[in-house]
Structure 1
Amino acid sequence: MDKIIKVLLLFCTIFQFSYAQTDSTATFDVAGNCGLCKQRIEKAAKIKGVNSAVWDVKTRKITVSYNSNTTLSAIQKAIAMAGHDTPLHRAPDEVYEKLHECCLYERLGEDHEHDEDDHDHEHHGHKGEDHNHYHNHGKGRKETSDHHNHEHIITGVVVNEDDKASLTPIANVNIRWQEGPKGQTTSNESGVFKIKHNEGNKHLVFTAVGMQPVVIEVKDLHEVLVIHAQNNVLSEVVVSRRKKSNYIKALNANRVEVLTALELFKAACCDLSESFETTISVDVVSSDAVTGSKQIQLLGLSGIYTQLTVENLPGPRGFASPLGLNSIAGTWIESIDISKGIGSVVNGYENMAGQINVELKKPHTSERLFFNAYANNMGRTDLNLNLAQKINDKWSVGLLLHDNFMYNKDMNFSHNGFRDVPVGNLFSGINRWHFENGKGLIAQFGVKYLKDKRTGGQTSFNKEDRGSNAIYGLGFDNERIEGFGKIGYVFPENRYRSVGLQLSASNYNQDSYFGLRDYSNKQTNGYANLIFQDILGTIDHKYKVGVSVSYDKYKENIESHDFGRTETVTGVFAEYTYSPTEKFDLVAGLRQDYNSLYGWFTTPRFVVRYNPFEGNTIRISTGRGQRTANIFAENIGMLASARTIDYANLQSSNSAYGLKPEVSWNTGITLDQDFKLFGRESGIAIELFHNNFENQVVIDWENPREVNIYNLDGKSYSNSLQAEFRFMPARHFEARFAYRLLDVKTDYKKAGTLSKPLTAKHRGFMNLAYNLHSGWSFDYTFNVVGKKRLPSTIDNPTEYQLDSYSPAYITMNAQVSKSFGKDKNFSIYVGGENLTNKYQKDPILAFDQPFGQYFDTNLLWGPLTGRMFYTGIRYHIK
């Protein structure tokens, strides 16, 4: 290990020396908006040693030529001191706030730079995945959109350019609508104006003393109009920025799909398990027919192979994973990042199929108040309240609350006498604090709490009947408390040099029962991750190094069998990123960890991103993942059946059931191509991933009266092919179509090679979204799910045998919402799920004999409940 570290240090020194000596021309991002910014930026950049500096308004990039009398960092610092962010230096807030109104750009890295866990600021600083930026001049500009005939406030600015290309604001310009006498204003001392649009208005008339008037046709009421005067002639520059609800991070090395809050609002989204209804990337399925637990499926693999993080800290994992999706309220979520395939070594070694990172609302950036109330016709009610308060310039505090009630004991679509969903109450909350001193130090900390108490089973069952062999019931009493903290420091002289520490500790308790089976567990977890990042000579070469430790103490008791253990994993990691141009990234990472149960193991990972031509992005990734299985908690449905469990083959000593760790290699290639169709944004995406297990803990359901658990002896793999097409048939109308093919197979000891049970090989998807600025939104999702292989029941009596495959089925969801008020801060939404009313008629085998040997709740292949309608309200104060 010492030799490896010494080699890495020597490698870094050589690169730092060689690249620091040769730079004389550089291109980098500088944040700005207009010609006023261009003048200010170029002037600030021309310090001693700079031969030339040219900033492009359209690309927001500056190209500088300089000699050995200065450095790139010094140039960027000079620009930042003039009020414009650069990749290495952030402009002082007091300087930024004094800029002209039209120059108040979006801060570079604003999305993540305040999160100390995300130090990987993009090397070019672009946010093209968030917005579209374009500048068109005069009458020759491209037509960008249709006219929107509704009331709205239009904002703009009027500036003048002299012979030296200097820009100054023009005050007292008269602005009026050509179509009528209503609507008239003048520009202020900063050249800024606001004017109300009324129905029928299409053209604005600009007049100023000594200047030729100009008539501008307003193409989009939501664009910022920049009126530019030169040689006594006014002309127009249009700047358009539109926030997307779902996008791919264009400059990220890994392919990361981002679901924003706008995307989540397309469905009821009461908790995390319901947040993926409008994307094909992630499946969320019920684990069985009675417990109410839901499971993520990514690339055809169970959610246990997907690393779930909350703001890059461990999310519900281990014993908390089967019911953890219900514990994160949808209204808490700011965005969800979905990354398929292998991820960064910085986030750990457990990622095997992908990573889902949930970003929660931050107290310093979210609404001061957000309230949501939801109810459906099945007896469920959700109440959510988010509060945020800025205490002073440095401190902010937030409170996120979620309460879920389910009290319809008689909900039973299949009429088999069993509740489709357990009844009871789930309460969760987060209190979080944010600190930032403006000098590079950022800190977050807080506490989370969850209490989940529910009862299921036969509709006549009450919790007082626990232990009875006359009536079948099940129940959960779960409690989880977590503390977390993150502290980071970004060096003022070099914004690419930073250090961050991530900390979390949690305690989870579960007391549960399934008929006559008792199951209890307790997990105490501690986690720490220290990360340092910097550049080697130039921003073309970046690296991260760090150390992490994870501690888990498990106590687990099932039917008097004790499976407690203590597991500690300590590791070091290094990751190098080579980004010579905007078109290419190479990321190579390596982890070396020591597991107290399994010893040393190595995790290599490798990612390449390449843009061969405009709009095209190719990504290739490969790497290794490893995890320790928690066989009962992660397959909790096995307890809710009459299947016998062979405890004799499972060790109850201080080990993970006597099983080897799960190990797999994942390789993937993705292609994204953006283009214009009907003059609007469109694109296609193709993904191909292969996951191959070196070892897997096989849960074998092929004997209908047993569940067998053992290490893989043979092959196990998954192949996933997905194609997606998106386009805009009309303004404000988004359409997405997708198809996915899965090939997932495992070698079973007695049954041989079989496809993974209860997994559809084919799936089709369509999502249509139409949004009007009047406040109306319409969303529709259509799914076609192919047939699924069912575990063998041939050894059962005829009346308890099922077909080999389930039928294919179709589901449809739809929602309509309307926003009210001047600020559109009050919304009402109504919707329906599973509008085709397709549900499994026989979700429980031998439901009439719950204590008999054929009783099985684990053969769920389709929706458990039929058509459901809901309504709700949202209200916020910014």
Structure 2
Amino acid sequence: MFLVLCGAGLKAQERSLKGKVSAAGLALQGVNVMIQGTELKTTTDSSGIYLISGVPAGLIRVQATAVGYRKVVRSLTMVEGTGQEMDFDLSNFQNDLNEVVVTGTLKEVKRMESPVPVEVYTPAFFRKNPTPSIFDALQNVNGVRPQLNCNICNTGDIHINGLEGPYTMVMIDGMPIVSSLSTVYGLSGIPNSLVEQIEIVKGPASSLYGSEAVGGLINIITKKPQNAPLLSADIFGTTYQELNTDLGLKTKVGTATALTGLNYFKYGHIVDNNHDHFTDVTLQDRISVFQKWNFQRKDNRIFTIAGRYLYEDRWGGETNWNKSYRGGDEVYGESIYTKRWEIIGNYQLPVKEKFLFSFSYNDHDQDSRYGNTSYIASQRVAFGQLTWDKKAGRHDLLLGAALRHTYYDDNTAATALNNPAKNIWLPGVFIQDEITLAPKHKFLAGFRYDYNSLHGNILTPRFAYKWSISENDILRLNAGTGFRVVNIFTEDHAALTGAREVVIRNELKPEKTYNVNLNYLKKIYTGDGTFIGVESSAFYTYFNNRIIGDYDVDPNQIVYDNLDGHAVSKGLSTNIDLTFRNGLKFILGATYQDVASYEGGIKMQQILTEKFSGNWAVSYKIKKLNLGIDYTGNVYSPMRLPLLGPLDPRKEYSSTWSIQNIQFTYGGFKNIELYGGVKNLLNWTPNKGNPFIIAGANDPFDKQVEYNENGSVKSTAGNPFALTFDPNYVYGPNQNVRGFFGLRYTIK
């Protein structure tokens, strides 16, 4: 009896389960692993290894849980004899909903707990479709569309929920340094290598961030030096002969840690696939140098400072253009030189209370030629802000004071001598109170007062309500007002090209908006480890004094005036995140929007704005081959386009169009990742179905254009469609199908 019992005990001890838990190839320490329905459990060691002894025979369900990751459950049949193995790869199960965000309330809070809905995108998301800049990377974010504004120089802005670029505030580390000139010329110069994460708030944010955050904001949060790898490199090229290089290096000096980044992008190959004798894509030579320092201080107080320098030389135009023609009227070219430097910092005061001083300064110089039209501009923005974060009972208070000074000057009539718009002071104060009404109910009230030295007092209230219906169901309601001062010559590229005369009928009044956004989040976890996340929003924005460039009243003019009526942007948006246990992952998004102006009882759809857009990213990893597959894309419904007159043969509305991409990533080498694929699989370009996209390409200086007695363009034998030169008929990228290949090298 004794020998039999000892033998059975030894046999039971042999029946053990062990394995390794990792994510993105890195071992995870402290992961809880347990056998469901039993008391058997353990945690992984520093190598990600776990071991559970005495596992019962038969079918078992093994559960792995870790902070920041969704619970994963796998099944296994234990047989008599020696132990068995089961590994967990949690790469596809990271719980983005638990990430810390700062943009919604200007303080760190878990995304699920924020009363303001914040969308978070990490570098892993953007690596599914590698691009050379943040501007291009945002094309796969639902409800966000990078809009090209010129066929020749490819400058652009970013639309959120149908609202044009000037209504979107783009920030770096919470600092409002991307505005005016940089929203047109600087967006493409922000490299992906800087990014820790991108936070997007769709809807009103003016009570915290000021008058530019009318339609929403994009906060580009740069990498923390202490979290960055020791050395990183990401280099890729395309069959269009584009080359993008990102380099990163972390160094430690005493108690400080520094991260240095270098981005270089080069595209110098002339392509004219539509045979209009103009470059299909702007040629670019761009370099960006970035450095960020993080200093260790007593009691973990914050002190970071970062700087960046950008230089870009870009040109597009007739294929035989060179710099000897710059600014002349022999061969048409659009040549833009951009020089920009920035400094950003955060310093927590050495006192018991949590006071944080944030500051930034940027200097932007622009030297541009659009044919023989010169646009030379300089902009300098200084910003300082002091906030006090204070908890008192059920109240979580944030009080702040800010001061921004903007200097802007150019060679246009907009900034004639002694024009007060050259220097604008904007002091302001704000208060925000997040009140916990009950365990499942939070209410946020905010109020901001600014004084604009040109336009006077600005009041922007805001409120938000969050109802945690259950652990997996959250309802949020946000509303507020907005105020925006328009600077046509820095925000609307079409005003600069010289192709149309700019007419400002009256003194432009600031725009005012009223916004509301209703958001619902639903999470579903199944027993086999599948996760389904659904987040839907309904949004509505009402405009007074809306300023819209009128392209229709005269084909040779852009007429700016305050709308004698109102404008509305409204719609619905849904994001779906679907992750299966086998690693197959779907990220799906769709937005329906109606953006229109109402004047004299007539509704007019906003130009260059689609009613429906959708996006997707489908990912799967074949573990045995160390091969990842990403299929990404977007689709847009027709949008109204700017025609030059009744004889213009181009389409008044675009067709439904889609850009789709596929990527293969191999991670079988130590510290090295290889990737490659195809962009624009459908080979779509905007000239599909159009006789041409650049009007008057054969006469870019309008030397052969004839006018009748009332000033309208005449139809002649050489100009049968009565057109003038105009490159503004553009709504999508003009690059054909192309391959790409890249390499990432990382030393942790």
C-alpha deviation, 1:242, in angstroms: 4.2
Equivalent residue, structure 1, for 2:635: 784
1:569 to 423, 426, 441: 426
Equivalent residue, structure 1, for 2:735: 865
Amino acid in structure 2 at the alignment position of 1:140: G
Equivalent residue, structure 2, for 1:535: 391
Residues 137-286 of structure 1 correspond to what in structure 2 (within 5 A)?
137-140=34-37, 154-156=48-50, 218-222=85-89, 242-244=93-95, 249-286=111-148
Structure-2 change in CA distance of 1:517 and 1:439 (3 Å): same
- CA offsets, 1:345-380, max 9 Å, x none? 333332111111111112121111111112111121
Equivalent residue, structure 2, for 1:331: 193
Residues 847-862 of structure 1 correspond to what in structure 2 (within 5 A)?
847-852=697-702, 854-862=724-732
Say if 2:505 is the partner of 1:642.
Answer: no
Equivalent residue, structure 1, for 2:672: 826
> Pairwise CA RMSD of aligned residues?
3.1
1:432 to 279, 292, 308: 292
Tell me if the contact between 2:169 and 2:178 (Cα under 8 Å) persists in the aligned partners: no
Structure-2 change in CA distance of 1:581 and 1:374 (3 Å): farther
Tell me if the contact between 1:289 and 1:858 (Cα under 8 Å) persists in the aligned partners: yes
Say if 2:676 is the partner of 1:807.
Answer: no
Equivalent residue, structure 2, for 1:210: none
Say if 2:540 is the partner of 1:690.
Answer: yes
C-alpha deviation, 1:697, in angstroms: 2.0
Structure-2 change in CA distance of 1:631 and 1:682 (3 Å): same
Tell me if the contact between 2:34 and 2:40 (Cα under 8 Å) persists in the aligned partners: no
Q: Matched residues in 1 for 2:346 and 2:48: separation? A: 41
Amino acid in structure 2 at the alignment position of 1:804: E
3-state SS, counterpart of residue 439 of structure 1: helix
Structure-2 change in CA distance of 1:547 and 1:458 (3 Å): same
Equivalent residue, structure 2, for 1:91: none
Tell me if the contact between 2:642 and 2:728 (Cα under 8 Å) persists in the aligned partners: no
Tell me if the contact between 2:650 and 2:693 (Cα under 8 Å) persists in the aligned partners: no
C-alpha deviation, 1:397, in angstroms: 1.2
2:363 to 503, 507, 512: 507
Tell me if the contact between 1:673 and 1:683 (Cα under 8 Å) persists in the aligned partners: yes
Structure-2 change in CA distance of 1:772 and 1:643 (3 Å): same
Amino acid in structure 1 at the alignment position of 2:681: L
Equivalent residue, structure 2, for 1:307: 169
Q: Matched residues in 2 for 1:258 and 1:584: separation? A: 23
Tell me if the contact between 2:247 and 2:261 (Cα under 8 Å) persists in the aligned partners: yes
Equivalent residue, structure 1, for 2:260: 399
Say if 2:618 is the partner of 1:768.
Answer: yes
Amino acid in structure 1 at the alignment position of 2:167: Y
Hey, which of these two has a bigger chunk of strand by percent? 2
Equivalent residue, structure 2, for 1:817: 665
Tell me if the contact between 1:203 and 1:216 (Cα under 8 Å) persists in the aligned partners: no
Equivalent residue, structure 2, for 1:554: 408
3-state SS, counterpart of residue 277 of structure 1: helix
Equivalent residue, structure 1, for 2:343: 483
Amino acid in structure 1 at the alignment position of 2:258: V
3-state SS, counterpart of residue 274 of structure 1: helix
2:517 to 635, 653, 668: 668
Amino acid in structure 2 at the alignment position of 1:662: E
Equivalent residue, structure 2, for 1:744: 595
Structure-2 change in CA distance of 1:274 and 1:246 (3 Å): farther
Equivalent residue, structure 1, for 2:20: none
- CA offsets, 1:276-318, max 9 Å, x none? 2332131112112111212211010112111111111113212
Residues 314-463 of structure 1 correspond to what in structure 2 (within 5 A)?
314-343=176-205, 345-392=207-254, 394-408=255-269, 410-463=270-323
Tell me if the contact between 1:697 and 1:711 (Cα under 8 Å) persists in the aligned partners: yes
Residues 568-717 of structure 1 correspond to what in structure 2 (within 5 A)?
568-581=425-438, 583-640=440-497, 642-646=499-503, 649=505, 658-676=507-525, 679-702=529-552, 703-717=554-568
Tell me if the contact between 1:245 and 1:261 (Cα under 8 Å) persists in the aligned partners: no
Equivalent residue, structure 1, for 2:25: none
Q: Matched residues in 2 for 1:794 and 1:618: separation? A: 48
Structure-2 change in CA distance of 1:638 and 1:377 (3 Å): farther
Tell me if the contact between 2:566 and 2:599 (Cα under 8 Å) persists in the aligned partners: no
- CA offsets, 1:621-655, max 9 Å, x none? 000112222212211134335211226x47xxxxx
3-state SS, counterpart of residue 787 of structure 1: coil
Amino acid in structure 1 at the alignment position of 2:745: Y
Tell me if the contact between 1:519 and 1:559 (Cα under 8 Å) persists in the aligned partners: no
Structure-2 change in CA distance of 1:247 and 1:851 (3 Å): farther
Q: Matched residues in 2 for 1:558 and 1:273: separation? A: 27
Greater shift in the superposed pair: 297-306 or 245-254: 245-254
Q: What is the percent sequence identity of the aligned residues?
A: 24
TM-score (norm 1): 0.70
Amino acid in structure 1 at the alignment position of 2:185: L
Greater shift in the superposed pair: 135-144 or 414-423: 135-144
Q: Matched residues in 2 for 1:565 and 1:855: separation? A: 31
Q: Matched residues in 1 for 2:40 and 2:447: separation? A: 49
Q: What are structure 1's unaligned runs of at least 5 residues?
A: 1-130, 145-151, 159-172, 179-200, 206-212, 224-239, 651-657
3-state SS, counterpart of residue 416 of structure 1: coil
Q: Matched residues in 2 for 1:243 and 1:676: separation? A: 13
Structure-2 change in CA distance of 1:141 and 1:347 (3 Å): farther
Tell me if the contact between 1:290 and 1:640 (Cα under 8 Å) persists in the aligned partners: no
C-alpha deviation, 1:246, in angstroms: 8.1
C-alpha deviation, 1:490, in angstroms: 7.8
C-alpha deviation, 1:343, in angstroms: 2.5
Tell me if the contact between 2:206 and 2:212 (Cα under 8 Å) persists in the aligned partners: no
Q: Matched residues in 1 for 2:228 and 2:236: separation? A: 21
Equivalent residue, structure 2, for 1:198: none
- CA offsets, 1:711-753, max 9 Å, x none? 222111101211233323452111133322110002468x953
TM-score (norm 2): 0.82
- CA offsets, 1:79-120, max 9 Å, x none? xxxxxxxxxxxxxxxxxxxxxxxxxxxxxxxxxxxxxxxxxx
Say if 2:746 is the partner of 1:876.
Answer: yes
Q: Matched residues in 2 for 1:503 and 1:590: separation? A: 21
Amino acid in structure 1 at the alignment position of 2:619: A
Q: Matched residues in 2 for 1:204 and 1:528: separation? A: 63
Higher relative contact order (CA 8 A, sep 6+): 2
Structure-2 change in CA distance of 1:142 and 1:458 (3 Å): farther
1:755 to 577, 594, 605: 605
Q: Matched residues in 2 for 1:143 and 1:617: separation? A: 34
Q: Matched residues in 1 for 2:439 and 2:51: separation? A: 32
Tell me if the contact between 2:97 and 2:112 (Cα under 8 Å) persists in the aligned partners: no
Tell me if the contact between 2:641 and 2:653 (Cα under 8 Å) persists in the aligned partners: yes
3-state SS, counterpart of residue 492 of structure 2: helix
Amino acid in structure 2 at the alignment position of 1:535: K
Structure-2 change in CA distance of 1:490 and 1:583 (3 Å): farther
Amino acid in structure 1 at the alignment position of 2:403: V
